[in-house]
Chain A
Amino acid sequence: MSDGSQPVLEVEGLVKHFTIGRGVANSGRVVHAVDGVSFSIAPGEVLGLVGESGSGKTTVGYCVNRLYEPTAGTIRLDGADITHLSRRGLRPHRRRMHIVFQDPYSSLNPRMTCGQIVGEPIRLHGLARRSALEGRVVELFDSVGLRPELRFRYPHELSGGQRQRVGLARALSVNPSLLIADEPVSALDVSVQASVLNLMRDLRSELGFSCLFISHDLATVEYLCDRVAVMYLGKIVEVAPREELFARPKHPYTQALLSAALEPDPDLQRTRSRVVLEGDIPSPIEPPSGCRFRTRCPLEHESAPRSTDEEPPLVDVTGRGHLVACHLVRRGSEAPRLVEPSPELAGAPDR
């Protein structure tokens, strides 16, 4: 990082391919879920990872937490390479990262009480036992805004928001330095989303953990994150500090994404110009050659034929940590504008 301190998480050239169909007919078909993703997260920093469904953002999260085995690349947690550690070798590192899942209904074991769920990581790492464990669980329930009595309840007796708080408490129970949040609020009602996001923000400033915040919702990312990385079809197309990205998006895809977000003011929403991308995200089984965005890029005519055979590298175009992967965006020159961004682009949740 620019401030010189060691990053909590460093991901370099992460690749995750899934082989599908072991039959004769479609053998060797490979889904390029993540294809060469690199980023790092500084201590206490929240990095937002945004992209539409199928862009590979969840796969990145799972690979970082080693729930998926990366195909290639390296993952360093607090400087230690954990990419290919065995389950046993990984165990001590598991204390330093944890994950919050998207679905609060399948992420909690229905046969365990909420207290047992929150206490399990502590127990497994041998950090506390019996009354000390109980005390720690009460403390955790308190810190995520749940009444301590709820620890005797089973998950199905709790609401979605409460369940997600239990998931958060479990993730924070071992005091991780990195929290991976995989769309932690997208399954919740909008009113509950706000309270959980506030909670995450408060806990972050209180406990100082770093966070990889995966989301498709630009508003929550803008609210919570320090830096934002935009993913498209298994690659990062743009990374920038939050204000910079929302005020001056450079990659055409980011611009389109931001222009698609709803505006809270209905008058503004009606009048402002929007970029509408045509078609769907291409299949990750056969991603387009060269620039992956070219099949949907409104500026394809300008960048062709270069975009067809050459993959644009992710380079810093401002010298201040604004990285873009586009043939048309060069250092020192202004990026092509699709629309004039309004000063407060990206408002409410995008659904």
Chain B
Amino acid sequence: MSLLIVVGAILAAVFAEWVAPYPPEETDFEALLASPSREHLLGTDDLGRDTLSRIIWGARASIQAGFFATVLAMAVAVPIGLIAGYYRGWLDTVIARVTDVLLAFPFLILAVGLAAILGPSLLNATLALGIAAIPPLIRIARGETLALREEDYVRAAVANGANDAVIIGRHILPNMTSTLLVQATLTIPAAIIGEAVLSFLGLGVQPPTPSWGVMLNAAQPYLNEAPSLAVYPGLAIVIVALAFNLLGDGLRDVLDPKTER
């Protein structure tokens, strides 16, 4: 189920041109703030733009931000965490302390701050979200490495005469993948929500390009007349974020060789 939603959201984002009934910026002045109808399944906004189409197009920004921010964060955090946890020493102390300091800032505050520095655009929002997601991932990768290097099979690898690359690559990294995967599926929805927040604040996607955050922002003045304008993008965020979280649980079970399929 969660897989269907995630795949559906990704497909909708990739093939938005064909899936969406209207172009996202096409206005229909016959139907301003229209309630749901045959022509506009989820109604229209103050400029007569089709809400459904804008949600579908908005998925693009959300999914992009979610994925690329997570990939960026993983690519930076995992090697750092592995090196810190495996080699210990002063470098580990420095990395751990810096991480602790950064962890003191909430994820969204950090992302908002970074996005403000970088300037408003989807790319910069993604970068900001990715960077903000790095500290907790470093901590997790480092913690896992610390635990795994005490395992007997890592000792056995040392006794085998394995070098560090083999030990890290074959014995430590594969055994933390399920933890990392679960963490990734928590980071993706966090980044999706983060993108909505940044766009809502005007630090991400710029109107009139659709994004769930932009739509929420635009819906603000009309909360009384047309609450559905805020409800539908909000629902989209909730459903997709939840689906990613549930998918993570499922993936962990599948990828862990210890659980029966």
**Measuring CB to CB, which residues of chain A are less than 8 angstroms from any residue of chain B?**
62, 65, 67, 87, 90-91, 94-95, 97-99, 101-103, 106-112, 117, 120-121, 124-125, 154, 156, 167, 170
Contact of A110 among B159, B162, B257 (CB under 8 A): B257
Instruction: Tell me the smallest distance from the CB of A27 to a CB of chain B, in Å.
Output: 16
Report yes or no: A65 in contact with B159, Cβ–Cβ below 8 A.
Answer: yes
Contact of B161 among A101, A107, A124 (CB under 8 A): A124
Report yes or no: A124 in contact with B160, Cβ–Cβ below 8 A.
Answer: yes
B152 at interface by CB-CB < 8 Å? yes
Report yes or no: A112 in contact with B160, Cβ–Cβ below 8 A.
Answer: no
Chain B residue at smallest Cβ distance from A120: B160
Contact of A94 among B155, B159, B166 (CB under 8 A): B159
B38 at interface by CB-CB < 8 Å? no
Chain B residue at smallest Cβ distance from A156: B258
Chain A residue at smallest Cβ distance from B173: A111
The CA-CA distance from A128 to B50 in the complex, in Å, is 66
The CA-CA distance from A103 to B258 in the complex, in Å, is 17
Report yes or no: A121 in contact with B161, Cβ–Cβ below 8 A.
Answer: yes
Instruction: Tell me the smallest distance from the CB of A93 to a CB of chain B, in Å.
Output: 9
B174 at interface by CB-CB < 8 Å? yes
Contact of B153 among A65, A94, A102, A108 (CB under 8 A): A108
B174 to chain A: which residues have CB within 8 Å?
109, 111-112
Can you sample 17 A-B contacts with CB below 8 Å?
A62-B155, A65-B159, A91-B161, A94-B159, A97-B159, A98-B160, A99-B156, A101-B155, A106-B153, A107-B155, A107-B156, A109-B171, A110-B175, A110-B258, A112-B174, A124-B161, A124-B162
* Interface contacts beyond A125-B161, A156-B257: sample of 5 additional A-B pairs, CB < 8 Å, sorted by A: A102-B152, A106-B152, A107-B155, A124-B160, A170-B160
Report yes or no: B163 in contact with A87, Cβ–Cβ below 8 A.
Answer: yes
B163 to chain A: which residues have CB within 8 Å?
87
Contact of A111 among B156, B158, B257 (CB under 8 A): B257
The CA-CA distance from A102 to B258 in the complex, in Å, is 21
B170 at interface by CB-CB < 8 Å? yes
The CA-CA distance from A108 to B160 in the complex, in Å, is 13
Report yes or no: A107 in contact with B152, Cβ–Cβ below 8 A.
Answer: yes
A102 to chain B: which residues have CB within 8 Å?
152
Contact of A109 among B153, B159, B161 (CB under 8 A): B153
The CA-CA distance from A90 to B158 in the complex, in Å, is 10
Instruction: Tell me the smallest distance from the CB of A144 to a CB of chain B, in Å.
Output: 16
B152 to chain A: which residues have CB within 8 Å?
101-103, 106-107
Instruction: Tell me the smallest distance from the CB of B5 to a CB of chain A, in Å.
Output: 30
B17 at interface by CB-CB < 8 Å? no
Instruction: Tell me the smallest distance from the CB of A285 to a CB of chain B, in Å.
Output: 21
Instruction: Mark out the residues of chain B between 113 and 166 whose CB falls within 8 Å of any chain A CB in the assembled complex.
Output: 151-153, 155-163, 166
Contact of A95 among B151, B155, B161 (CB under 8 A): B161
The CA-CA distance from A106 to B151 in the complex, in Å, is 6
Task: Answer whether A67 and B258 are a contact pair too, CB < 8 Å, given A108-B153, A109-B171.
Answer: no
A98 to chain B: which residues have CB within 8 Å?
159-160
The CA-CA distance from A103 to B153 in the complex, in Å, is 10
A107 to chain B: which residues have CB within 8 Å?
152-153, 155-156
Chain B at the A interface: mostly helix, strand, loop or mixed? helix
Q: How many residues of B contact A (CB 8 A)?
A: 19
Instruction: Mark out the residues of chain B between 16 and 45 whose CB falls within 8 Å of any chain A CB in the assembled complex.
Output: none
A97 to chain B: which residues have CB within 8 Å?
159
Question: Counting chain B CB atoms within 10 Å of each CB, which of A99, A125, A167 scores highest?
Answer: A99
The CA-CA distance from A156 to B174 in the complex, in Å, is 16
Contact of B155 among A67, A110, A154 (CB under 8 A): A67
A67 to chain B: which residues have CB within 8 Å?
155, 158-159
The CA-CA distance from A87 to B174 in the complex, in Å, is 23
The CA-CA distance from A67 to B171 in the complex, in Å, is 16
A111 to chain B: which residues have CB within 8 Å?
174-175, 257
The CA-CA distance from A241 to B43 in the complex, in Å, is 92
Instruction: Tell me the smallest distance from the CB of B217 to a CB of chain A, in Å.
Output: 46
Instruction: Tell me the smallest distance from the CB of B114 to a CB of chain A, in Å.
Output: 35
Contact of A121 among B155, B160, B170 (CB under 8 A): B160
Instruction: Tell me the smallest distance from the CB of A267 to a CB of chain B, in Å.
Output: 42
B166 to chain A: which residues have CB within 8 Å?
124
B162 to chain A: which residues have CB within 8 Å?
120, 124
The CA-CA distance from A154 to B256 in the complex, in Å, is 11
Instruction: Tell me the smallest distance from the CB of A148 to a CB of chain B, in Å.
Output: 21
A170 to chain B: which residues have CB within 8 Å?
156, 160
Report yes or no: A101 in contact with B170, Cβ–Cβ below 8 A.
Answer: no
B175 to chain A: which residues have CB within 8 Å?
109-111
Report yes or no: B156 in contact with A112, Cβ–Cβ below 8 A.
Answer: no
The CA-CA distance from A65 to B152 in the complex, in Å, is 13
The CA-CA distance from A156 to B259 in the complex, in Å, is 10
Task: Answer whether A101 and B160 are a contact pair too, CB < 8 Å, given A110-B258, A111-B175, A112-B170.
Answer: no
The CA-CA distance from A125 to B162 in the complex, in Å, is 9
Instruction: Tell me the smallest distance from the CB of A47 to a CB of chain B, in Å.
Output: 19
Instruction: Tell me the smallest distance from the CB of A156 to a CB of chain B, in Å.
Output: 5
Instruction: Tell me the smallest distance from the CB of A89 to a CB of chain B, in Å.
Output: 11
B159 to chain A: which residues have CB within 8 Å?
65, 67, 94, 97-99
Report yes or no: A154 in contact with B161, Cβ–Cβ below 8 A.
Answer: no
Contact of B160 among A94, A103, A110 (CB under 8 A): A94
The CA-CA distance from A106 to B192 in the complex, in Å, is 38
A117 to chain B: which residues have CB within 8 Å?
153
Question: Counting chain A CB atoms within 10 Å of each CB, which of B160, B163, B166 scores highest?
Answer: B160
Chain B residue at smallest Cβ distance from A92: B161
Instruction: Tell me the smallest distance from the CB of B227 to a CB of chain A, in Å.
Output: 50
The CA-CA distance from A106 to B162 in the complex, in Å, is 18
Chain B residue at smallest Cβ distance from A65: B159
